Structures are given as structure tokens and as C-alpha cells.
Amino acid sequence: MSEVSSALPTSELAEQPVPRHYLRLIGVLLTAVVLSAAVPAFLIADVPDAGRSSGWILTLLVMVWSGLRMATAIASGRPMLFDFFFWIFCYVFMGLAPSVQIRSGLISTTTQGIDSALDVPTALLVWLGIICYEAGRALAFARERGARARDHAASRAARAGMPEARVTGVSTTRTIILVVFGFATSAYFVAKVGVGSLFLDRYAFENIRNAVWPDSATNAVVRALAVYPILVGIGALALLRRRATRGYARVLAAAIVVCTLLLLTIVNPISSARYTVGTALFALAIYAGTVVTPVRTRLTLVGTIIAFIFLFPLADAFRVGPVDVSRNGFFGEYAGNADYDAFWQIANAHSYVLDGLVQFGQQALGSLLFWVPRSIWADKPIDTGILLAQYRGYSFDNLSAPLWAEFLVNGGIPFLVVGFLVVGYALRAMDVRLLPAFSAAGYWAIVGAIFPVYMTILLRGSLLQATGGVLVAIACLLFVRRRTRPAGELGGLTTPQPIRETT
């Protein structure tokens, strides 16, 4: 082969296409260089060290590792979306933001007064969670390797005449019922708050909602019912459209357009939280087929990184008052910004544990039973963000409570270790189910469209605030689920092959 290649003229050698694995390698190197080398280097050069602590070294390493993990995901071209969004969150909220704030000495304005001696222990707790997360994924991967041998044997048996693999789809009848129900709940929500209030700034809109539904649990459930039945319904319609006849597909496409317009009226960037808007927009993009091929997946993941790092801070301009998109430089956006208080709330949670205030599982119980009104359960736990704010004596208590903080206040460091082991294992297991679903129009494609982005809300916390939306979305998903059918019935699509991937 080498003799033939050497005999070719130079012009013909130049015309030979670059092998795909080389292109992937170049892509991963470029992404890794930008995220794990260039951005950290520019941060050090642009943000002078005010001498608060050396904790920024550990958070900068979080950026480096998270950047490498995202670069690997982009290179693979596989939509392992739960894992990808975990690393985006770590990169921005546990790496980039705290590195800027510790070096500049300008920590979140809503969490002032935190002892700098807590910086390094807090960063170590962040790393402990990340290491346990990776260990959990490794355990899931080891379990998959054993299952692959059984899958291979099953595939051979199928070729010998046994039943083929089955893919879970959605029910047509139940999808229609869910869409009608979603229209009803959305109409009820709009009727109660008024159409005009949907385009007020976020705080004015929240004041109106709180006046209509004073109970926080009821408020959260009604809001979720106005959004997630329609969002899940659009996904189910999109799956039905992929295997419908041409005439029926046009009807479904028209229904999708109408539902999308209603959804974007309720979930708009003016009155809605950025996370909610991001969840809806990302889900719509996935429904449109942005991860059905490796190339599209890579472009989608790169675009998501850009959105989180550049567009997410700018979206804050819509929150209150006149729109203002002026910013004090790239890194200046993170210095002192109250939106990036997650790292400091972990510090407060660590201090809470050190003071011996942990009540095992108490906050988690409140999240699980979020739907119980306080009129019935007077001692119902408050949001963990509010709990930590009251513990520190802050006047402003609408703070985040990242998953690290939730685990700490529920059971200290042992709870954090076990919690992240479970999270890593569970997210890997769910990611594996997404891959065949995206290619075969399976039911899990809707899960992969909504929950990976929504997971950033859960990671940032508080869980009590975010649980309502999760449970409503899960209920909608379970409702439209159809019994498993042979993959060949889904529009002639082939049976997904076993996933072969390294950790």
C-alpha cells in the first residue's frame, strides 16, 4: 500500500480526502484547546489576582477537565446529552464563574461575607462530587459491557428467526388527548394572569402569579401544567409525524406549528426564567432533528456551549426594566454576578454542616412532597436556597442551592458521595437509552429533548422549586407512552445496534 501511495503524483495525493477519524481528532483538539487552555489562560491574564485565596486554582482545573469532557463528547458525535449538560454546568458554574470571582475578590453580591478560608474546602467538595460522578458512570459502563455480550447473542438469535428488538413509541390517541389537555391548561393559565402580563418583565409577572396563586406549591404546579403538556405533546406529535403517511404528516405538522406558537407565547424570554426558555427552545430543536446524525449532533453541542457561555448572560437583559445588553467585558460579566452564586452556596452548605445543623433527609422529603400545601403541613421544609440564606442572615433569600449543597444539608459529605455516585450511574444509564431512541423515533427521544437541559435547573437548585416541573413532565411522558413494538414497525427503521463507547 505504501508503494502504491508513493507512486502517486503529489497533486493526486493532495486530492485524497482526509479520513474522518483525523477530522474528529482535529475537532476534539481545537475544542479542547479553546475550552481547556485558551479560556483559562485568558482568564488568568485578564483577571488580576486580588489575593483572596488559592481556591481559584482548583476551580480553574474544573474548567480544564470539564472542557476536555465536552470536547470528547463533541468529537464522538453521540448525543449523550445528560452527561454533556452536566459538564456544561460544571464548566460555567463550578469553574469559570468562581475562578473569576475568587481571583477578582468580587464574589456574588447576594452571598457576601463568606470567609475566604472556605474557598479551598468548597472547591475540594466540588471535585469530590465530580470524582464520584465519574465513578458512577464508570460503574454503569462496566455493567453495560456485560450486557453487550447478551445483546450480541440476542442479535444472532434474531437473525435466526427469533423476535426482533423492540422500541417504545407513543400512542396516537393519548397524544391527541394530551395536546387537548395542554391547550386547556394553557388557556386557563393565560386567562388567570392575563395576556398582557405574559410580556411584562419577569419580576412583575411573578408578582402577578403570586397574587393569583399565593401558595408556592399550587403556583409551581399550575405553571408547569401550562408548559409541559404542550411541550411533551409537540414531541409526541413529532414522533408520530416521522412514521405517518404524507397527508397525515401535513396535518401533524400544522398541529406542531400551532402548539409551538402557543408554547412560545407562554414561555418567552421577557417574562420567563432563562432556564425555562432554554429548556423549551432546546427541546424544539431536538424535535426538529438536530441530533439525528453525528454532524448535526456536533453542531448542536457546539452551539449549546456558545449559548451557555455567551447568550445566557445576555438574556438577563430582559429580566427587568429597559433592555440593556452592554457588558463589562467577557470575564467582567461573572465578577460579582448574583446569577453565579452556586459555588458560594456550597460554601454556606459546608458551613451549615460544620455547625451541626443537618437534619438527615429533611430537605429531600420536602422536595418529594412539594405538592402538599403548607396549610396542611405547617412544618414543611422551605427551599434549600432560602434555608441557607436565613442561616447566613441574608436579606435577599431567592438564592440557588446546587446539588452539592442539597446533598450536604441532607446528610453531609457521606450523602454527597453516595448522591453523586447515583447521579453518575443514572445519567449514564439514561444516556444509553437516548442513542437508539433518537435514531429510531423512540419514546426516549422526548425524554432526551426535555430533561438534559432541565437538569441544569436541578443542578443549580433549589430542588423544591424545580420538582414540580419534573413530576408534571414525567406524568405527561408516562401518559403518551405506548407498549413496545418491533422496531421494524416504526417506519421501516432498523433495529438499533448495541452501543460501543468508552468512558
Question: pTM of the full predicted structure?
Answer: 0.83
Task: Report d(CA 384, CA 415) in Å as an integer.
Answer: 15
Q: What cell numbers appear for 418 in the block?
A: 453516595
Residues of the chain where predicted confidence (pLDDT) is lower than 70: 1-25, 27-28, 146-168, 216-217, 313-328, 370-371, 373-375, 378, 441, 483-503
DSSP 8-state symbol, 481: B
DSSP string, 316-375: GGGSSSS-----S-TGGGTTT-GGG-HHHHHHHHHHHHHTT---TTHHHHHHHTTTS-TT
Helix runs in 8-54, H state only: 10-15, 20-32, 39-46
The residues, ordered by sequence, that sit 6+ positions from 175 with a Cβ below 8 Å of its Cβ are 233, 236, 237, 240, 480
| pLDDT attached to residue 471 | 85
| pLDDT attached to residue 162 | 39
CB 95 within 8 A of CB 335: no
Residue whose C-alpha cell is 387537548: 180
Largest CA distance in the chain: 85
DSSP 8-state symbol, 395: S
| pLDDT attached to residue 156 | 55
| pLDDT attached to residue 364 | 76
Task: Report d(CA 265, CA 278) in Å as an integer.
Answer: 14
Rounded to a whole number, what is the distance in angstroms from the first to the last CA of the chain? 34
| pLDDT attached to residue 165 | 45
Mean pLDDT, the chain, integer: 80
pLDDT digits (tens, 9 = 90+) for 21-56: 666 667 667 778 888 899 999 999 999 999 899 999
- Please report, for residues 137, 423, 496, 498, the alpha-carbon distance to residue 432 in angstroms, rounded to integers and kept in the order given: 11, 14, 11, 9
Phi-psi category of 380—alpha, beta or left, where left has phi over 0 and alpha has psi -120 to 50?
Answer: beta
